[in-house]
């Protein structure tokens, strides 16, 4: 019975002895949960350690905690104090933390906890046994060391609490750093994808990170990427904007930068405040060099467009009186007055200079005219001579002589005269630039020859030549050997495009120091000379007719009438479209010659009215114009199915054109 009684009492003693243990463990769990909640609410490593120390101080009285961590760069060390400590004592704790983390002892920052007890006596010593060292690990290495100094010697429950709290801190730190690393990878991918150069600096203006565009740009500018950026900011001219942002005078800064070599950048400076509150800067640099060049080219294109409009109006104003001068010079040359040798000489001078003016205007129009590409039989010699005439004056002013050696056996080619003239013009301009400022006479030699099925054109100069290493690059777009600001690098690229579009080739044959020769090879067309222009003084056939001339320039109308009447035609002249329609209603005409640009009813409207009222006369209309830049004349003539006569026309073409119209009537 005694044993039974003893046995019955033992469970009671065990239950009575277990209750305090359960209560202690429950209290430990409550304290661990309180610490865990504070730790889990942290969003940054610094905030995590601060919350951990504050939470432990609330549940387990401690006098001090030292946190040494190397997470965001160099080792940082902070002492959180609940009471005053002797400096030598703090130095021992600093040394202990450094040894635990395996690093040199950095500066120790002091933070007083909210419950700092100013009335407590200064703690002057800490025995090693009174110190609890708790590691924080990540990836198999210590990233932080926590040193706790309890207010009373730590016991087993307190130590368990410290280590449990350290485990919670380790888990939360791992979550924070994992999220940060993922965010950094995403940010890195975004930065690397940006065409703008992005540089991130810390509060000390030290380089933190940059993207590929920044690395490439800085390499081109020969600026160092890593380290202190103060010198870079000064060279870029950004110190003022940076100082304004760092001082808080401006929310952000911006600047347009003009660097040597016509390099243009725009920069913005913005403050960077990471989650830990460590302010830095974000620089965004955008290279505007190419866009500025494109803007200049667009401005130049606009100027050329305006120039084309100016040439159009000027040509129209010049071509009308020039038509009179040239026409009457040809008429007088065929008259009895020309039997006098002195009169004939003077008429020849008059006619030659008038034709020279005609060629100048035609070349200007050809240069300014915008046309779709065309292919027709043409004489390359005529293109060469017209192009040389276009730049003859500027070459002469520069002291450059142009010689030609043109093989008369060169056949016609199939091509676009305007594209080929532009190519030859670019070659002559390049040669002239190569000969500039040499202090000696310059010479350009243009040669033509036949090589089997090819027509060969050489443009040679006696300039400094093109180095062999550059000879293969001169036709690349935007590549130029000229000084900055003098060349766009497009001239020879246009030559290459024009020649290859004709099925030809272009190459540089010679270089330093013999001057440069550019050779163009074009497929030959039909054998034989191009058709010679008609002779204005050649005998005319006996085909006669009635001709109506409509032109608001009386001198031009009278000259045309005189020329056609000399051929035996009957000519009536009117000054505008409505008067022409009245005449057409009253009588029959074999040919109608109308100016395109007239006040009131222009030539296009007149053609449309004739088509409505007199459809049988549509084939007898010829339009004359002194403006071929805009392309309107060609469009009107093509749509109306009528012939176009460009002023100033020579009398041979005028007579042939009218004879064809009369033959249509007689047929």
Q: Per the domain annotation, does 171 fall within a domain?
A: yes
Lowest average pLDDT, out of 11-15, 106-110, 468-472, 555-559, goes to 11-15
Cα 415 to Cα 45, 373, 380, 503, 566: the distances in Å are 76, 9, 9, 10, 38
- For residue range 517-540, list pLDDT tens digits in order: 888 889 987 544 443 444 444 444
pLDDT given at position 274: 62
Boundary residue ending a domain (251, 272, 287): 287
Is 440 part of a structural domain of the chain? yes
Q: What is the pLDDT of residue 447?
A: 92
Q: The domain spanning residue 84 has which CATH number? A: 3.30.450.40
Closest CA to 286 of 264, 253, 269: 264
Please tell me whether residues 159 and 239 are part of one structural domain. Answer: no
Judge whether 481 lies within some domain.
yes
CATH of the domain at 584: 3.40.50.2300
> What is this structure's pTM?
0.42
User: Which of 141-145, 289-293, 473-477 has the lowest average pLDDT?
Assistant: 473-477
- 535 in a domain, yes or no? no
**CATH code at 478?**
3.30.565.10
Same domain, 401 and 524: yes
363 pLDDT tier (thresholds 50, 70, 90): low
> Whats the size of the chain, residue-wise?
667
How many domains, the chain?
4
654 and 580 together in one domain: yes
Query: Quick one: 473 and 425 in the same domain?
Result: yes
Same domain, 164 and 224: no
Do 267 and 225 fall into the same domain? Answer: yes
Examine the domain organization and report whether 33 and 167 are in the same domain: yes
Of 157, 180, 203, the residue that ends a domain is: 180
pLDDT at 157 > cutoff 50:
yes
The answer to whether residues 169 and 198 belong to one domain is: no
Reported as a pLDDT band with limits 50, 70 and 90, residue 475 is low
Considering the domain architecture, whether residues 144 and 203 belong to the same structural domain is answered as no
Going from the C-alpha of 148 to that of each of 28, 135, 164, 168, 316, the distances in angstroms are 18, 11, 14, 16, 98
Q: What is the 3-state secondary structure (H, E, C) of 201-266?
A: ECCCCEEEEECHHHHHHHHHHCCCCCCECHHHHHHHCCHHHHHHHHCCCCCCEEEEEEECCCEEEE
Position 549 scores a pLDDT of 92
Q: Within a domain: residue 305?
A: no
Find the domain containing 619 and state its range. Answer: 546-666
Mean pLDDT of 378-386: 88
Q: Is residue 541 part of a domain?
A: no
Instruction: State yes or no: pLDDT of 3 exceeds 60.
Output: no
At residue 87, the pLDDT reads 92
- Angle at alpha carbon of residue 587, lines to 584 and 591, rounded to 5°: 65
Examine the fold and report which residue of 287, 309, 327 is the final residue of a domain before the chain moves on.
287
Residue 438 lies in a domain: yes
Residues 173 and 208 in one domain: no
Backbone phi, psi, residue 459, to 5°: -120, 105
573-579 contacts: CB < 8 A, separation 24 or more?
A: 573/549, 574/548, 574/549, 574/550, 575/550, 575/551, 576/550, 576/552, 576/600, 576/601, 577/550, 577/601, 577/602, 577/603, 577/605, 577/606, 577/609, 579/550
Give yes or no: residues 479 and 402 share one domain. Answer: yes
Query: What pLDDT, on a 0 to 100 scale, did the predictor assign at position 347?
Result: 84
Whether residue 213 is predicted with pLDDT greater than 60 in this model: the reply is yes
Residue 338 lies in a domain: no
Tens digits of residue pLDDT in 444-469: 899 999 988 899 999 888 887 665 55
> What's the pLDDT band for 664 if we cut at 50, 70, 90?
low
Residue 572 confidence (pLDDT): 92
Cα(151)–Cα(65) distance, rounded to whole angstroms? 11
524 in the same domain as 443: yes
Count helices and strands (H / E) in the chain. 18, 22
């Amino acid at each position: 019975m005694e044993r039974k009684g003893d046995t019955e009492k033992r469970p009671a003693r065990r239950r009575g002895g277990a209750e305090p243990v359960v209560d202690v463990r429950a209290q430990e769990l409550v304290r661990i949960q309180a610490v865990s909640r504070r730790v889990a609410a942290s969003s940054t490593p610094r905030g995590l350690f601060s919350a951990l120390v504050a939470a432990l101080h609330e549940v387990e009285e401690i006098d001090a905690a030292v946190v040494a961590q190397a997470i965001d760069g160099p080792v940082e060390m902070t002492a959180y104090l609940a009471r005053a400590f002797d400096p030598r004592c703090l130095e021992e704790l600093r040394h202990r933390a450094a040894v635990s983390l395996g690093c040199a002892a950095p500066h120790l920052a002091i933070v007083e906890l909210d419950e700092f007890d100013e009335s407590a006596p200064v703690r002057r010593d800490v025995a090693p046994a009174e110190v609890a060292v708790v590691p924080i690990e990540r990836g198999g290495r210590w990233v932080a060391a926590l040193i706790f100094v309890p207010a009373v010697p730590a016991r087993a429950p307190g130590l368990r609490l410290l280590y449990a709290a350290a485990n919670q801190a380790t888990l939360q730190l791992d979550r924070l750093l994992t999220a940060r690393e993922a965010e950094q990878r995403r940010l890195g991918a975004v930065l690397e994808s940006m065409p703008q150069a992005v540089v991130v600096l810390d509060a000390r203006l030290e380089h933190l990170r940059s993207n590929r565009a920044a690395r490439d740009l800085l390499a081109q500018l020969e600026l160092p990427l890593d380290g202190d950026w103060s010198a870079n900011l000064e060279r870029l001219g950004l110190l003022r904007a940076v100082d304004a942002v760092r001082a808080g005078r401006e929310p952000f800064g911006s600047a347009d930068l003009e660097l040597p070599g016509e390099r243009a950048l725009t920069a913005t400076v913005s403050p960077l405040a990471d989650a830990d509150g460590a302010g830095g800067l974000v620089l965004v640099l955008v290279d505007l060099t190419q866009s500025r060049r494109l803007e200049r080219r667009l401005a130049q294109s606009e100027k050329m467009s305006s120039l084309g409009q100016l040439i159009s109006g000027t040509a129209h104003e010049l071509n009308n009186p020039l038509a009179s001068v040239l026409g009457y010079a040809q008429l007088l040359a065929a008259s009895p007055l020309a039997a006098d040798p002195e009169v004939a000489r003077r008429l020849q001078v008059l006619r030659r200079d008038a034709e020279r003016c005609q060629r100048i205007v035609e070349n200007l129009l050809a240069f300014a005219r915008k046309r779709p590409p065309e292919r027709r039989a043409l004489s390359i010699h005529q293109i060469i001579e017209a192009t040389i005439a276009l730049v003859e004056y500027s070459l002469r002013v520069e002291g450059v002589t142009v010689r030609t050696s043109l093989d008369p056996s060169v056949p016609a080619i199939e091509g676009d005269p305007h594209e080929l003239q532009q190519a030859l013009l670019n070659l002559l301009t390049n040669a002239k630039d190569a000969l500039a400022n040499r202090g000696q006479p310059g010479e350009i030699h243009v040669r033509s020859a036949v090589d089997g099925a090819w027509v060969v054109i050489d443009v040679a100069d006696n300039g400094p030549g093109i180095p062999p290493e550059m000879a293969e690059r001169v036709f690349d777009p935007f590549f130029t050997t000229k000084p900055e600001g003098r060349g766009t690098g497009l001239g020879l690229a246009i030559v290459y495009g024009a020649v290859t579009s004709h099925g030809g080739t272009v190459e540089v044959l010679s270089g330093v120091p013999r001057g440069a020769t550019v050779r163009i090879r074009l497929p030959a067309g039909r054998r034989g000379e191009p058709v010679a222009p008609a002779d204005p003084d050649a005998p005319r056939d006996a085909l006669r007719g009635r001709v109506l001339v409509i032109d608001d320039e009386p001198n031009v109308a009278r000259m045309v009438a005189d020329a056609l009447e000399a051929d035996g035609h009957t000519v009536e002249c009117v000054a505008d479209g409505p008067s022409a329609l009245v005449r057409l209603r009253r009588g029959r005409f074999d040919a109608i010659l109308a100016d395109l640009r007239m006040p009131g009813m222009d030539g296009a409207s007149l053609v449309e009215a004739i088509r409505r009222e007199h459809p049988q006369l549509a084939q007898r209309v010829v339009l004359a114009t002194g403006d071929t830049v805009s392309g309107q004349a060609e469009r009107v003539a093509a749509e109306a199915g009528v012939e176009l006569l460009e002023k100033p026309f020579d009398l041979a073409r005028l007579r042939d054109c009218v004879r064809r119209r009369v033959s249509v009537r007689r047929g």
